[in-house]
Amino acid sequence: MGQIEWAMWANEQALASGLILLTGGIVATAGQFVWWQFGAYSIVAGVFICLLEYPRGKRKKGSTMERWGQKYLTTVVKAFGPLTRNYYVRAILHLCLAVPAGVLLATILGTACLAIASGIYLLAAIRGEEWMPIEQKPKERLQVGATIKQPPSNPPPRPPAEVRKKQPEEEAAGPSGGPQVNPVPVTDEVV
Amino acid sequence: MPQYKVQLLNILVKKKKVHTHTHTHTHTHTGECVSECGGWIHQQYFSVQVVWLGLNVFLFVHAFLTFEKSDKYYYTRELIGQLDHNLTFHKLVAYMICLHTVIHIVAHLFNFERYRRSCKADDDSLAFTLSTLYPHEKGSPWLNPFPSSDMTAEHLTFTSIAGLTGVIITLALILMVTSATEFIRWCYFEVFWYAHHLFVIYFIGLVIHGIGGIVRGQTEDSMKEHPHSKCAEEYKDWGEHCRRPRFEGLPADSWKWVLAPVILYIFERLIRFYRSRQKVVITKAILHPSRVLELQMNKSDFRMEVGQYIFVNCPSVSFWEWHPFTLTSAPEEPFFSIHIRAAGDWTESLIRACEQQNSPMPRLEVDGPFGTASEDVFQYEVAMLVGAGIGVTPFASILKSIWYKFRHADHTLKTKTIYFYWICRETGAFAWFNDLLASLEREMEECGKVGFLNYRLFLTGWDSNIAGHAALHFDKSTDVVTGLKQKTSFGRPKWDNEFSALAAAHPRSVVGVFLCGPQTLAKSLRRCCNHYSSLDPRKVRFYFNKENF
């Protein structure tokens, strides 16, 4: 499986874990189970993980399908630079976030899933993968004016083709033949 | 077909189990210690299950055969589509399993919490009395699974069979789901393939899940000497007038529900194994530009329809992996073919193995064909076929088949004109399809039937260089990109223009619109079909068909 980017699967797994933590946390808090405060923590951790993992990173090869509306979160996640780019950081972060939720039965499933995601991220980091944001491609605008520097060298009216072919043999002199010689130097005034 | 039974019965398992558990627990956690499944119903329960199962299987098979085969439902099938959309059904069942898993787990979380609270209840409450009736020894008739108030819910979960198997199979389910998202399936098929085999763990765990008998009800004998209607209120004096109630666990019964689907699945794998033993002869291997390998093969008793796919395994590349490929040959051809694009480890290795000049072709195993047969294409007088990106592959089969039928004046072919729209980013990987269109174009000219197939290619991945180049060669008779007679357009098609032009050209025809491509395109086409169809049934009507090729 040499070409697999493990980070892509880790991302799906982590996003799912975030949702599971969130659900477990809501159940524990709403049901006022014993130690429900850990449930409240799970809700916060779950939301945070979902926001962090929602923007999908760019694949190394091929095009990446963006999640709907992810460009807003991409800007935020990108702003943290190496903290979000590096997968070692993510692996450790997810492991640390997972541990407190392991106390409650309601959220222990979230812990297990997040630990698995952390493991896959570690694998991705060892293989040198990185999170790269999916940028919007800037629209290509043809700067037509910028490519014109000099006026045309052989403007009309031109003599017929046969006469034109003979020109290189003769001297490039005279008003009807050869490249245009400008009496006054011409500069490009296109803005 | 067996896949349906597996899936339908899975839904039934999940629904039924949720119902049973919530029913029983509702009573135990409030302190009433009588099982609802007592007496007569309990004895008949097994036969009820067998009858229920048999009825489901019968109804399903009957409905399937009637619906699929009977002429009475021909028009119904036209509208709703054929039942063989097993992938869609599989996903539907998977979503149901996930939903019911969530409900099941949340219900048990509340149950465990309430059991635990009963241990800590006031000394003189019914809940406390019930919880402390007997010590937790083997064979002891306890009710509350928590032996004491010191044990946490987590501890009980991981030391009981039900809890442990529950956690393990839920993790397996989650891993299966996260590796089965569209993105992972398309880009990293191997991850999806191997992770999905965790279903073996899922089903084994599901069967073992109820063995521990945590959910308990009063025993028969105990109910005779301790009727709860008389004794429940006198719980402080149990032992004098009323003997103490005794409880036993409900037996595990998941196996009764999953047994039939599991057996059917094993049959299916055996059939796959049998089919894979049959010899596949590679008659021709052609390497097209952009690393696309075409394999033309023969297998005895292989019968295909247009638009179907096969699973291919190459033991020398990978023993376990089976990869799906759409068939690109027409049923009328003396061989069947697939076009394999180098897009991952397995495909790269296969192409490399086939490229070796000095060694023989690797042995292949083929299972199939599967999938919806797209026979409807031949029923429309005018067919509008739209293939986007990789979705163009099944149309290779369809176009070739239509052309064969046309040349041999096949009476099952009602099509008189075809409009084919090919939309892709760049033609590189589909140069082989290009060649197919070119050869069809040539053959049509020879037969003098130039207007039969009209196609337009739309390149959506153009830039100013390509556009400039095309503008420069505007006057050439063949297209500069494809070399075909009909010109390439750049950008996406304007469907409104296309539909109105078609409606004008065929004012009294029924036009079938077939798409193999993304959902967004399906929406625009469906909208145009509705918009440009005339209300008058004698005038032009557009019918949209989206196939999951």
Q: Of the candidates B259, B294, B321, which is a domain's last residue?
A: B259
Token readout for B528 is: 């145009």
Percent of all residues in chain B with a pLDDT value above 90, rounded to a whole number = 12
**Tens digit of pLDDT for each residue in A96-144?**
999 999 999 999 999 999 999 999 999 999 998 888 888 776 665 656 5
Decide if B321 touches A, using CB distance below 8 A. Answer: no
pLDDT at residue A176, rounded to an integer: 47
Residue whose token pair is 């006031």: B122
Beta bridge partners of B384: B419, B513
Separation CA B534–CA B197 (nearest Å)? 50
- Nearest CA-CA distance, residue A146 and chain B, Å: 15
Q: Which of B153, B181, B345 has its CB closest to that of A12?
A: B181
**Is-contact A91 A125, C-beta < 8 A?**
yes
pLDDT at residue A136, rounded to an integer: 73
Same domain, residue pair B134 and B78: yes
Separation CA B221–CA B217 (nearest Å)? 12
Q: Which of A4, A9, A103 has its CB closest to that of B178?
A: A9
Domain assignment present for residue B323? The answer is yes
Beta bridge partners of B282: B297
Same domain, residue pair B523 and B441: yes
DSSP per-residue string spanning B204-229: HHHHHTTTT--SEEE-HHHHHH--HH
Domain assignment present for residue B6? The answer is no
- The pTM of the full predicted model, rounded to 2 decimals, is 0.69
**Tens digit of pLDDT for each residue in B201-227?**
999 999 999 888 888 888 888 888 888
Same domain, residue pair B114 and B206: yes
Same domain, residue pair B216 and B67: yes
Separation CA B328–CA B295 (nearest Å)? 10
- The set of residues, in sequence order, having a beta carbon less than 8 Å from that of B431 and lying 6+ positions away, is B288, B289, B290, B292
Q: Is pLDDT at B7 greater than 60 in this prediction?
A: no
Contact criterion met (CB < 8 Å) for B170 and A116: no
pLDDT at residue B478, rounded to an integer: 65
Structure confidence at residue B75 as a pLDDT band (50, 70, 90): low
Same domain, residue pair B292 and B206: no
Domain assignment present for residue B289? The answer is yes
Same domain, residue pair B425 and B520: yes
Domain assignment present for residue B381? The answer is yes
Same domain, residue pair B110 and B125: yes
Average confidence (pLDDT) over A27-45: 92
Q: Of the candidates B323, B353, B370, which is a domain's last residue?
A: B370
Q: Which of B153, B183, B190 has its CB closest to that of A105?
A: B153
**Is-contact B268 B3, C-beta < 8 A?**
yes
Contact criterion met (CB < 8 Å) for A34 and B188: no
**Count of CB atoms situated within 10 Å of the CB of A22:** 21
Q: Which domain holds residue B76?
A: 57-259
The torsion angles phi and psi of B226, rounded to 5 degrees, stand at -140, 75
**Count of CB atoms situated within 10 Å of the CB of B537:** 8
- The set of residues, in sequence order, having a beta carbon less than 8 Å from that of B487 and lying 6+ positions away, is B479
Same domain, residue pair B328 and B219: no
**Tens digit of pLDDT for each residue in B284-299?**
998 888 888 999 999 9
Residue whose token pair is 């397996």: B172
Question: Which of B407, B408, B404, B402 lies closest to B380 in space, CA to CA?
Answer: B402
**Which of A105, A118, A139, A144 should one mutate to test binding to chain B, selecting the residue with the greatest count of B CBs within 10 A?**
A105
Domain assignment present for residue B474? The answer is no
**Which of B104, B106, B183 should one mutate to test binding to chain A, selecting the residue with the greatest count of A CBs within 10 A?**
B183
Percent of all residues in chain A with a pLDDT value above 90, rounded to a whole number = 42
Contact criterion met (CB < 8 Å) for B177 and A142: no
**Tens digit of pLDDT for each residue in B243-277?**
888 888 888 888 888 888 888 889 888 888 888 88
Contact criterion met (CB < 8 Å) for A116 and B171: yes
User: What's the CATH number where B327 sits?
Assistant: 2.40.30.10
User: What's the CATH number where B528 sits?
Assistant: 3.40.50.80
CA B29 to mean position of chain CA atoms: 39
Domain assignment present for residue B170? The answer is yes
Residues of chain A whose beta carbon is less than 8 angstroms from a beta carbon of chain B are 1-5, 8-9, 12-13, 15-16, 20, 23-24, 27-28, 31, 33-34, 56, 59, 62, 65, 103-106, 108-109, 112-113, 116, 140, 142
Instruction: Given the cut 0.85, state whether the ipTM is greater than it.
Output: no
- Nearest CA-CA distance, residue B264 and chain A, Å: 31
- Nearest CA-CA distance, residue A175 and chain B, Å: 31
- The set of residues, in sequence order, having a beta carbon less than 8 Å from that of B350 and lying 6+ positions away, is B293, B314, B317, B340, B362
**Tens digit of pLDDT for each residue in B418-472?**
888 888 877 777 788 888 888 888 888 887 777 788 888 888 876 667 667 767 7
**Is-contact B315 B363, C-beta < 8 A?**
yes
Three-class secondary structure of residue B383 per DSSP: strand
Separation CA A155–CA B46 (nearest Å)? 98
Per CB-CB distance under 8 Å, the chain B contacts of A9 are: 178-179, 184, 188, 191
Contact criterion met (CB < 8 Å) for A112 and B171: yes
Average confidence (pLDDT) over B103-114: 91
Give the single-character DSSP code of A130.
B
Separation CA B3–CA B268 (nearest Å)? 8
Separation CA B127–CA B31 (nearest Å)? 5
Contact criterion met (CB < 8 Å) for A2 and B345: yes
Same domain, residue pair B209 and B100: yes
**Tens digit of pLDDT for each residue in A90-103?**
999 999 999 999 99
**Count of CB atoms situated within 10 Å of the CB of A37:** 13
Which residue from B minimizes the CA distance to A103? B154
Same domain, residue pair B173 and B299: no
Same domain, residue pair B379 and B395: yes
Q: Which helix (H) or strand (E) holds B507?
A: none
Q: Which of B153, B174, B190 has its CB closest to that of A16?
A: B174
Structure confidence at residue B2 as a pLDDT band (50, 70, 90): very low
Average confidence (pLDDT) over B361-368: 88
Per CB-CB distance under 8 Å, the chain B contacts of A110 are: none
In the stretch 131-170 of chain B, residues with CB closer than 8 A to chain A read 152-154, 157, 167, 170
Which residue from A minimizes the CA distance to B157? A105
pLDDT at residue B14, rounded to an integer: 52
**Count of domains forming chain B:** 3
In this structure, the strands spanning B336-341 and B292-298 are: antiparallel
CA atoms within 13 A of residue B515's CA, in its CB half-sphere: 19
Give the single-character DSSP code of B510.
E
Domain assignment present for residue B269? The answer is no
Same domain, residue pair B378 and B365: no
